[in-house]
């Protein structure tokens, strides 16, 4: 991220935070979900830069969401900050574990193995009567360090929380992209042999990327669970993963901000499509994806990157 | 004095193919060793075993006092044995400068993968090392060129420059001049050899051109069918009867060179 894009990001953050109380509640809810999903998408972006596509990112998303739902149900803890940390940790730990296997695979094998992992969780959730089976169960309203807002105020509070976490995540990922491990993404895609012979384990590097993406997925899922006040196995289903991949392609891997813009555009598009063509909204989404791949192959981010990108392109 | 590289009874089989058998050599520090042999003689297999790309079927490899047999290539690299490749192994989507930054950053940073997530790629020292390497290997005019577009000779130089980023004690060069026109070969080897000598690197290089061997090697290892059939100073090894008959073209070219 250049200084200019940091500035634009900070400005967007302030404008959104200030304008939120004046915006219609449906838009606030939509934006909250969109930004929570954008965190999951940022995880996919991190992997995509290294040439890896996960078709099972809903695994971490669902683990984050169910972690929040279970903890609040069985311990009574409803504090959003605690729950988000727990959701991120649970998903991150899972990523550490499955990463030992996943980090050894590439390309279609990586994609399908990720999918397989998420389908196992989906199957377990569907079969578990205690967790409401296919219906899932409700999540108690979140509280914020003792503050317990209701109704529209709760939605606003959640929106602000998502906004702050998005800003933190964007800043942290910006730092990561400029670090040794973060910058060695295209090189991984280009030539793993050279990296190994320079003295770095590519598998460990990918494992690290998986864990970062897992944490982001878990935090996104935790936020979604609190926003929707409900969890169900669909959160782990492959169509959910597919939605994240959709947004990743829409946004492109070139810019952090694009993940948020892309995710928001996707949620808007889906709402409009469902309203216009209730039975066939997938038709509209599919067409948009087609157009994106044909005409904006590097994603929305490339549209505004072209102008800001200077000569010193970093090894992305 | 202990040799810096010591190989004993090395053997490698691929099914029924014996690519290396009973290879035993000691290389003292800062020697420049030329490796010759026809295609399929086992030169690359030897380089692959020393650098950890292939695990020997038998035998030991020692780096100084340390047994490195069967170690992973990245660990061997970190100990101080590096290599370049017959086909340059570089990052085609990046520029020359970016390639060198990646190499310098990996080579410089301590092992911890987590530390690497926090240290910037382009720290002052990494950039300085990248710049120094670009200057040392005289590829500055291509600094901003995307590697996919580079001429073959520059790709080779970059590959070697990246291999040297970690200040290795030993460098193995697998056919540094392959794919390079005859006119350019000596220029390239002059740059490589003076760069490596300035860093006091022990060099083992695979080469088909006997003139280049004669000019740069202190010692020649002649490979034939997985074994070493001659080992000695270039004049002696190249004059060896078996080398002259078994390693095709040798006789012709050395005679032409002396004419
Ligand atoms: N990975 C491998 N699998 C099977 N056979 C191999 C492999 N690598 C090399 N060989 C065989 O080992 C022999 C030596 O090959 P190599 O070391 O590449 O020769 P050189 O580099 O001298 O041309 C050849 O017969 C080659 O076919
Ligand atoms: Mg070879």
Residues B123-139 pLDDT 10s: 888 899 999 999 999 99
Residue A2: the pLDDT is 64
For residue A55, is pLDDT > 90?
Answer: yes
Tokens of B178: 């392959």
Q: B34 near B205, Cβ under 8 Å?
A: yes
- Among the residue ranges A118-122, A278-282, B51-55, B245-249, the one predicted with the least confidence is B245-249
B205-242 burial code (b ≥16 CB/10 A, e <16): bbbbbbebbbebbebbbbbbebbbbbeeebeebbebee
The domain that holds A287 is classified in CATH as: 1.10.3470
A21 at the B interface (CB within 8 A)? no
Which chain residues have CB less than 5 Å from ligand 2, an ion? B 44
For chain B, what percent of residues have pLDDT higher than 90? 57
Higher pLDDT, A9 or B9: B9
- Angle value at C-alpha A251, between A248 and A254, nearest 5 degrees: 100
Rounded CA gap, B78 and B68, in Å?
12
A181, A187, A189 member nearest B116 (Cβ):
A181
Residue B162: the pLDDT is 94
Tell me the pLDDT of chain B averaged across its residues: 88
Higher pLDDT, A11 or A100: A100
Residues B174-204 pLDDT 10s: 999 988 888 888 999 999 999 999 999 999 9
Q: A197 near B83, Cβ under 8 Å?
A: yes
Report whether residue B48 contacts ligand 1, using a CB cutoff of 6 Å: no
Residue B255: the pLDDT is 47
Rounded CA gap, B246 and B259, in Å?
22
The domain that holds B42 is classified in CATH as: 3.40.50.300
Q: Note whether B71 and B181 are same-domain residues.
A: yes
- Among the residue ranges A145-159, A224-238, B222-236, B237-251, the one predicted with the least confidence is B237-251
Residue B141: the pLDDT is 92
Higher pLDDT, A257 or B250: A257
Residue A108: the pLDDT is 93
Does residue A316 lie in a domain region?
Answer: no
The domain total for chain B is: 2
Q: Note whether B76 and B174 are same-domain residues.
A: yes
Q: Note whether B149 and B175 are same-domain residues.
A: no
- Closest protein CA for atom 11 of ligand 1: B19
DSSP string for residues in B99-129: HHHHHHHHHHS-S-HHHHTTSBTT-HHHHHH
Of the pLDDT bands very low, low, confident and very high (cuts 50, 70, 90), residue A56 is very high
Nearest to A62 by CA among A225, A263, A242: A225
Ligand approaching nearest to the C-alpha of B13: 1
For residue A308, is pLDDT > 60?
Answer: no
Does residue A54 lie in a domain region?
Answer: yes
Residue A129: the pLDDT is 83
A100 at the B interface (CB within 8 A)? no
Report whether residue B45 contacts ligand 1, using a CB cutoff of 6 Å: yes
Distances (CA, A) of B223 to A32, A97, A160, B4, B237: 68, 47, 70, 21, 11
Q: Note whether B173 and B163 are same-domain residues.
A: no
Of the pLDDT bands very low, low, confident and very high (cuts 50, 70, 90), residue A313 is very low
Does residue A33 lie in a domain region?
Answer: yes
Q: Note whether B137 and B176 are same-domain residues.
A: no
Report whether residue B40 contacts ligand 1, using a CB cutoff of 6 Å: yes
- Among the residue ranges A124-138, A170-184, B213-227, the one predicted with the least confidence is A124-138
ipTM strictly over 0.95? Answer: no
For chain A, what percent of residues have pLDDT higher than 70? 95
Can you tell me the mean pLDDT for B71-83?
Answer: 92
- Closest protein CA for atom 24 of ligand 1: B40
Q: Note whether B32 and B110 are same-domain residues.
A: no
Higher pLDDT, B152 or B246: B152
Separation of CA B201 and ligand 1 centre (Å): 27
Residue A289: the pLDDT is 83
Distances (CA, A) of A153 to A15, A141, A148: 18, 11, 9
Q: Note whether B108 and B195 are same-domain residues.
A: no
Burial class (CB in 10 A: 0-12, 13-18, 19+), A48: buried
For chain B, what percent of residues have pLDDT higher than 70? 94
Distances (CA, A) of B20 to B63, B79, B220, B221: 19, 24, 17, 13
Residue A305: the pLDDT is 58
Q: Note whether B182 and B154 are same-domain residues.
A: no
Q: Note whether B16 and B128 are same-domain residues.
A: no
State the helix-helix crossing angle for A281-295 and A256-276, rounded to 10 degrees.
140
- Beta pairing, strands B202-206 & B32-36: parallel
Can you tell me the mean pLDDT for A103-132?
Answer: 92
Can you tell me the mean pLDDT for A172-185?
Answer: 90
Nearest to B230 by CA among B58, B50, B37: B37
The domain total for chain A is: 1
Residue A310: the pLDDT is 39
**Residue in A closest to B101 by C-alpha:** A315
Can you tell me the mean pLDDT for A94-104?
Answer: 95
**Mutation for A interface: B71, B86, B91, most A CBs within 10 A:** B91
**Residue in B closest to A200 by C-alpha:** B74
A271-309 burial code (b ≥16 CB/10 A, e <16): eebeeeeeeebeebbeebbeebeeeeebbbbbebbeeee
Of the pLDDT bands very low, low, confident and very high (cuts 50, 70, 90), residue A311 is very low
- Residues in chain A with CB shorter than 8 Å from the CB of B94 are 186-187, 190, 315
Q: A267 near A37, Cβ under 8 Å?
A: yes
B82, B102, B144 member nearest A184 (Cβ):
B102
Residue A307: the pLDDT is 47
Does residue A154 lie in a domain region?
Answer: yes
The dihedral built from the CA positions of residue A233, A235, A239 and A245, taken in this order, carries a sign that is negative
Residue B243: the pLDDT is 76
A189, A201, A212 member nearest B74 (Cβ):
A201
Residues A15-32 pLDDT 10s: 887 787 888 988 999 999
Distances (CA, A) of B83 to A218, B198, B203, B209: 42, 17, 10, 20
Of the pLDDT bands very low, low, confident and very high (cuts 50, 70, 90), residue B259 is very low
DSSP A71: H
Residue A134: the pLDDT is 84
* Range(s) of the domain holding residue B142: 89-167
For residue B7, is pLDDT > 60?
Answer: yes
Tokens of A135: 């219906």
CA dihedral B66, B70, B71, B72 (to 10 degrees): 160
For residue B31, is pLDDT > 70?
Answer: yes
Q: Which of B167, B193, B210 is the last residue of a domain?
A: B167
Residues A190-206 pLDDT 10s: 899 899 999 888 999 99
Separation of CA B172 and ligand 2 centre (Å): 12
Of the pLDDT bands very low, low, confident and very high (cuts 50, 70, 90), residue B110 is low
Can you tell me the mean pLDDT for B22-36?
Answer: 93
The length of chain A, given as a count of residues: 316
Of the pLDDT bands very low, low, confident and very high (cuts 50, 70, 90), residue A231 is very high
Separation of CA B45 and ligand 1 centre (Å): 6
Of the pLDDT bands very low, low, confident and very high (cuts 50, 70, 90), residue B71 is very high
Of the pLDDT bands very low, low, confident and very high (cuts 50, 70, 90), residue A254 is confident
* Range(s) of the domain holding residue A137: 2-311
Q: Which of B149, B167, B185 is the last residue of a domain?
A: B167
Q: Note whether B142 and B218 are same-domain residues.
A: no
Residue A312: the pLDDT is 39
Q: Note whether B93 and B214 are same-domain residues.
A: no
Of the pLDDT bands very low, low, confident and very high (cuts 50, 70, 90), residue B69 is very high
Residue B248: the pLDDT is 53
Residues 6 or more apart in contact with residue A307 via CB below 8 angstroms: none
For chain A, what percent of residues have pLDDT higher than 90? 54
Q: A209 near A50, Cβ under 8 Å?
A: yes
Does residue A286 lie in a domain region?
Answer: yes
Q: B195 near B136, Cβ under 8 Å?
A: yes
């Amino acid at each position: 991220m250049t200084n200019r894009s940091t500035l634009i990001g900070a400005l967007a953050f302030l404008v959104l935070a200030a304008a939120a109380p004046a915006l219609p509640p449906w838009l606030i809810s939509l934006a909250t979900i969109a930004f929570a999903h954008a965190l999951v998408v940022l995880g996919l972006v991190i992997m995509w830069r290294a040439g890896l596509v996960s078709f099972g990112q809903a695994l971490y998303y669902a683990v984050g969401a169910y972690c929040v739902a279970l903890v609040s149900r069985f311990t009574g803890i409803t504090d959003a900050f605690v729950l988000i940390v727990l959701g991120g940790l649970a998903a991150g730990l899972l990523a550490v574990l499955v990463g030992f296997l996943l980090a050894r695979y590439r390309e279609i094998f990586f994609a399908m193995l990720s999918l397989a992992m998420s389908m196992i969780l989906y199957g377990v959730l569907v079969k578990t009567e205690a967790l409401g089976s296919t219906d899932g169960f409700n999540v108690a309203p979140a509280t914020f360090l003792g503050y317990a807002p209701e109704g529209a105020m709760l939605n606003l509070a959640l929106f602000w929380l998502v906004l702050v976490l998005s800003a933190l995540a964007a800043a942290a990922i910006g730092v990561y992209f400029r670090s040794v491990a973060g910058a060695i993404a295209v090189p991984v895609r280009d030539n793993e042999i050279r990296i190994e012979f320079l003295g770095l384990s590519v598998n460990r590097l990918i494992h690290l990327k998986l864990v970062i993406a897992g944490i982001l997925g878990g935090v996104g899922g935790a936020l979604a669970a609190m926003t929707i006040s409900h969890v169900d196995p669909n959160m782990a289903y492959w169509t959910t993963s597919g939605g994240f991949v959709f947004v990743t392609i829409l946004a492109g891997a070139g810019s952090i901000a694009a993940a948020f813009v892309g995710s928001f555009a996707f949620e808007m598009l889906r709402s409009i499509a469902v309203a216009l063509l209730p039975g066939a909204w997938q038709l509209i989404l599919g067409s948009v994806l087609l157009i994106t791949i044909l005409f904006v192959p590097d994603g929305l981010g490339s549209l505004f990157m072209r102008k800001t990108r200077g000569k010193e392109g970093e090894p992305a | 004095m202990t040799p810096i590289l010591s190989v004993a009874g090395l053997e490698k089989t691929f099914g029924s193919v014996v690519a290396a058998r009973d290879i035993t050599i000691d290389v003292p520090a800062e020697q420049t060793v030329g490796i010759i042999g026809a295609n399929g003689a086992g030169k690359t297999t030897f380089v692959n075993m020393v650098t950890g790309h292939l695990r020997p079927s038998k035998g030991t490899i020692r780096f100084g006092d340390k047994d490195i047999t069967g170690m992973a290539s990245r660990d061997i690299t970190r100990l101080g044995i590096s290599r370049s490749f017959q086909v340059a192994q570089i990052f085609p989507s990046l520029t020359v400068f970016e390639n060198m930054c990646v190499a310098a950053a990996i080579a410089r940073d301590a092992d911890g993968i987590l530390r690497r997530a926090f240290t910037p790629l382009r720290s002052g020292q990494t950039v300085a090392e990248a710049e120094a390497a670009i200057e040392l290997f005289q590829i500055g005019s291509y600094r901003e060129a995307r590697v996919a577009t580079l001429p073959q000779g520059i790709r080779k130089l970059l590959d070697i420059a990246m291999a040297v980023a970690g200040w290795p004690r030993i460098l193995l060069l697998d056919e540094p001049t392959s794919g390079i026109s005859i006119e350019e070969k000596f220029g390239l080897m002059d740059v490589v050899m003076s760069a490596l000598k300035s860093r006091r690197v022990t060099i083992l290089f695979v080469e088909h051109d006997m003139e280049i061997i004669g000019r740069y090697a202190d010692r020649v290892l002649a490979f034939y069918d997985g074994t070493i059939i001659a080992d000695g100073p270039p004049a002696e090894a190249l004059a060896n009867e078996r080398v002259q008959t078994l390693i095709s073209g040798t006789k012709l070219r050395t005679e032409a060179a002396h004419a």
